[in-house]
Amino acid sequence: MIKGVMLALLMAVLTVVFLVIGTLSPVPAAVYYAGGKNLLRASSTPQAAVDNLAVDLKQRAWENAYNSLANKAEFTEPQFVQDMTGNTLSLRTFADLENYEVRPLHASADDAEMTLKLRWSTVVGPFETSRDLHVVRNGDHWAVDWPLVKIPSVPPQVIPVNYLRWDVIYRGPGDEWGAQDVQSPRIRIVDMHPVSRAEGVVVMGELLNEDIVPAYVTVSATLLRKDGSAIAREGSFDMIAHTLLPKQVTPFSIVFPNADISEVGAIHMDPQSVLVSASADPVVEIQNQKFDPGPGASLSGQLSNQSGQTVNIAHVLTTFYDKNGQLVWVAGQYVDRALLPQTPVDFTVPVPQDLAKQVSTERTIVSNYSSGNSL
Amino acid sequence: MIAKKAGRLLGIALALAPLAGAQNSNMTVPATIEAGSAFSIPTTGSGQGVLYIVGPAQALRRDVQLGVAVQFAAGDLYNAGHYVALLVEGSSTDTAQFDVTPKSQPDTLSFFAEPSRVPVGLHNGISGTVYAFDTYHNLITSPLSVSFQLAGISGTPLARTVTTRDGVAWTAIDSASKQGSAKFIVQANGITTTRVIAEVPGDPCGLTISAHPDGQNLTVETAPIHDCSGNPIPDGTVVTFTESYNGMQSTVDVPVKQDVARVDMPAHPGATISVASGVVAGNEIRWGGGR
């Protein structure tokens, strides 16, 4: 009883002490998030100017960020905001700046070149963007020349679309017993390859919609021991294009964290398909794909939306093959910007460096989502 | 719930049957009764009793005056199966067994046709299975002649006649060589049920492309795409175009529209352009800058 009272008194005293310390000597970040400005240092150096800009971006304090720029007369604040968030719904719209990194490239008494790497977090995972900044001295402080990426606007026009879509009438409650439902689309795994990686076992492959109707597809796999017992079961989640048009092929990748391939005796693949309503548009062309074997191996290129409909979120999925046509790796990358009609957008798909030397060819598809269209 | 109760009563009845069999019978039960038909069970003796009719999915109870026939109207007993009749009079029970058989005339044909989509020209590619039921949804187990007919958009309909065995008849039929919706019809004693089978084209055959310049771009298009039987490939089928140039490549998945897949690609002199659909590869062309 006495011990309990002592403990309560001790905690009360400690709380008061911490409150006093926090009030008299607050952490700068806490002050900033509470509305203060102390996190921002005086822009007395190029590094400080870029740091301050990054902090404003992190806080989505667009007005402060815009006002701090040296070249703000060259564009308006809405244009600056559009540069950061996109002018239409995309992954950027709701992305939060998680952290940033500033790398000085060159500096003189009056100007400096710096690289600002911004790491954003989104609902589909993080992505990174990079801007090379020119920082100029303006009296006793430094300010950033923001390299605005102007998003081209598509001129008003009518793009004729021979709109093709499939609708499905499913079996209804009034149908007699024996009136079978529409059959699920026929799909087939045309390639499958397991590899052992540091993160575990990765089962990759390609899936073909053999039917004449669109399919919503998923692939699951079960690792089996040599005695036939199950080790683990996982699905491809988003590492697959779920909506497949007739004769379309999608890569898939299934990760089994912490699994050891030496324990695997067999792999049971379980592809599933459901007949769904779907649209054949939009068509996205993947242009100028170039594989860079490294260091920092990656496949880069541009996505060009050939339809009149904006693609809000695009997911690039690439299958890499060796010189014998054998599957080496499947990789994917979301594109943070929306695909406006006929406006190319860059993409880069990273490839593990140790596999890069095996890559000879690749095949890329784009899985896309447009707002107002659930297909 | 009713079936569960009936099952429980049937169990009790069957347990009592050997015991009751030793007594003198006070009722006369027909050996078989057609489902849903009217019938009567004459009784002998005097006094009051209770008659139970217990089957696999139905149970009836009647208070009876012994010595008077118990009447059952049409539709009272309609579930086919093996039944037990128990006449309870005080502490004695009289038991008899009989069968309720399905009606001989089918009322509905439950027809399972598989698959709903089948490639053209597939041997025994379409299967049909039919179950014949009477008015009361009893499976008609007596032999019944059933005709199957597959009528496509062209050609002579394919027909088969099969006799049901234990209530089931099935057949397998080749799919037609021409695409289209075929009607798969089953008929027995004037009852007809129809299913629609989509006979669909196979994989593309002889996939070829050509290209012509269009400003800074090349318009690449396929010749009208058909399968190996000459059926046009359905709209929406994806055709993949790949252009390789200067160590780079561009790819695009294009759906077929009106038998042709068409796309605009950047015109790179010396580029090679290839085409594929699913696992079928087409020809490859080399763009020479003006050809």
pLDDT in tens, A307-363: 888 899 999 999 999 999 999 999 999 998 899 888 899 999 999 999 999 999 999
Chain A hits for B235, Cβ within 8 Å: 164, 280
Bridge partners for B83 per DSSP:
B98
**pLDDT tens per residue across span B14-67:** 554 444 433 345 889 999 999 999 999 999 988 899 999 999 989 999 999 999
Which position has the higher pLDDT, A219 or B155? A219
> Is the previous residue joined to A282 through a cis bond, with omega within 30 degrees of 0?
yes
Residues 6+ apart with CB under 8 A from B152: B176, B178, B180, B182, B199
Asked if the Cβ–Cβ distance from A245 to B249 is below 8 Å, we say: no
Name the strands in the sheet holding A313-321, side by side, starting at the edge strand that comes first in the sequence.
A327-335, A313-321, A361-369
The beta-carbon neighbor of B117 closest among A178, A212, A287 is A212
Q: Give all domains of chain B, ordered by start, each with its CATH number.
A: 2-101 (2.60.40.10), 108-200 (2.60.40.1930), 204-286 (2.60.40.10)
Whole-angstrom distance, CA of residue A329 vs CA of residue A229: 27
Residues 6+ apart with CB under 8 A from B40: B69, B70, B71, B72
Whole-angstrom distance, CA of residue A168 vs CA of residue A291: 40
pLDDT by residue, tens only, chain B of 291 residues: 444 554 555 555 555 444 443 334 588 999 999 999 999 999 998 889 999 999 998 999 999 999 999 999 999 999 999 999 999 988 889 999 999 999 989 999 999 998 888 888 889 999 999 999 999 999 999 999 999 999 877 778 889 999 999 999 999 999 888 888 899 999 999 999 988 888 889 888 889 999 988 888 889 999 999 998 889 998 889 999 999 998 899 999 999 988 999 998 888 888 999 999 988 999 999 987 544
As a 3-state breakdown, chain A gives helix, strand, coil percent values, each rounded to 5, of 20, 45, 40
Among A163, A212, A283, A289, the residue to mutate for chain B (most B Cβ within 10 A): A212
The beta-carbon neighbor of B236 closest among A180, A210, A246 is A246
pLDDT of residue B289: 55
> Is the previous residue joined to A152 through a cis bond, with omega within 30 degrees of 0?
no
Whole-angstrom distance, CA of residue A61 vs CA of residue A66: 9
The beta-carbon neighbor of A211 closest among B117, B249, B266 is B117
**pLDDT tens per residue across span A270-299:** 999 998 888 888 889 999 999 999 888 999
Task: Identify the burial level of B257 via C-beta atoms within 10 angstroms of its C-beta, where 0-12 means exposed, 13-18 middle and 19 or more buried.
Answer: middle
Q: Is B201 an 8 Å CB contact of chain A?
A: yes
Question: What percent of chain B has a predicted confidence (pLDDT) above 70?
Answer: 90
| Cβ atoms of B259 and B224 closer than 8 Å | yes
pLDDT of residue A307: 84
| Cβ atoms of B100 and B10 closer than 8 Å | no
Asked if the Cβ–Cβ distance from A164 to B255 is below 8 Å, we say: yes
Residue A375 banded pLDDT, cuts 50, 70, 90: very low
Chain B nearest C-alpha distance from A190 (Å): 9
**Can you say whether the dihedral through the CA atoms of B122, B124, B127, B128 is positive or negative?**
positive
Whole-angstrom distance, CA of residue B189 vs CA of residue B144: 9
CB half-sphere exposure, B277, CA atoms < 13 A: 32
Report helix, strand or coil for A71.
coil
Q: Which residue of A has its CA nearest to B130?
A: A178
Q: Is B39 an 8 Å CB contact of chain A?
A: no
Write out the two tokens for A147: 């390299």
Asked if the Cβ–Cβ distance from B255 to A245 is below 8 Å, we say: yes
Nearest to B133 by CA among B165, B168, B100, B162: B168
Among B107, B117, B137, the residue to mutate for chain A (most A Cβ within 10 A): B117
Q: Between the ranges A6-15, A134-143, A201-210, where is the mean pLDDT highest? A: A201-210
Write out the two tokens for B83: 């039944």
> Whole-number mean pLDDT of chain A?
87
In the chain, the amino acid numbered A125 is G
| Integer CA distances (angstroms), B79 to A361, B34, B60, B100, B132, in order | 68, 10, 12, 7, 15
Q: Is B277 an 8 Å CB contact of chain A?
A: yes
Asked if the Cβ–Cβ distance from A214 to B108 is below 8 Å, we say: no
Whole-angstrom distance, CA of residue B125 vs CA of residue B117: 10
Whole-angstrom distance, CA of residue B32 vs CA of residue A23: 97
End-to-end Cα, chain B, rounded Å: 79
Write out the two tokens for A331: 């990789």
| Cβ atoms of A289 and A299 closer than 8 Å | yes
The beta-carbon neighbor of B277 closest among A166, A247, A283 is A247
Instruction: Print the SS3 string covering chain B.
Output: CHHHHHHHHHHHHHHHHHHHHCCCCCECCCCEEECCCCEEECECCCCEEEEEEECCCCEEEEEEECCCCEEECCCCCCCCEEEEEEEEECCEEEEEEEEEECCCCCCEEEEEEECCEEECCCCCCEEEEEEEECCCCCECCCCCEEEEEEECCCCCCEEEEEECECCEEEEEECCCCCCEEEEEEEEECCEEEEEEEEEECCCEECCCEEEEEECCEEEEEECCCEECCCCECCCCCEEEEEEEECCEEEEEEEECECCECEEEEECCCCCEEEEEECCEEEEEEECCCCC
Question: What percent of chain A has a predicted confidence (pLDDT) above 90?
Answer: 51
Asked if the Cβ–Cβ distance from B117 to A183 is below 8 Å, we say: yes
* Dihedral (Cα; A209, A281, A284, B279), 10-degree rounding: 20
DSSP string computed for A220-263: EEEEE-TTS-EEEEEE-TTSB-SEE-TT-EEEEEEEEET--GGG
Chain B hits for A290, Cβ within 8 Å: 247-248
**Can you say whether the dihedral through the CA atoms of A10, A11, A14, A19 is positive or negative?**
negative
pLDDT of residue B11: 57
Strand pairing category for B145-151 and B180-188: antiparallel
DSSP state of A72: G
In chain A, which ranges are E strands? Answer: 96-107, 111-122, 125-138, 141-145, 165-166, 187-197, 200-209, 215-224, 230-235, 243-244, 249-257, 266-275, 278-279, 284-292, 298-305, 313-321, 327-335, 345-350, 361-369
Q: What are phi and psi of B86, to 5 degrees?
A: -125, 125
Other CB atoms within a 10 A radius of the CB of residue A332 amount to 22
Mean pLDDT, residues A162-172 taken together = 71
Chain B nearest C-alpha distance from A128 (Å): 24
The beta-carbon neighbor of A283 closest among B108, B254, B277 is B254
Whole-angstrom distance, CA of residue B57 vs CA of residue A190: 50
Bridge partners for A188 per DSSP:
A208
In the chain, the amino acid numbered B225 is I
Whole-angstrom distance, CA of residue A145 vs CA of residue A71: 5
Write out the two tokens for B66: 């012994």
End-to-end Cα, chain A, rounded Å: 65
pLDDT of residue B285: 92
Among A206, A244, A250, A285, the residue to mutate for chain B (most B Cβ within 10 A): A285
**pTM beyond cutoff 0.80:** no
Bridge partners for A61 per DSSP:
none
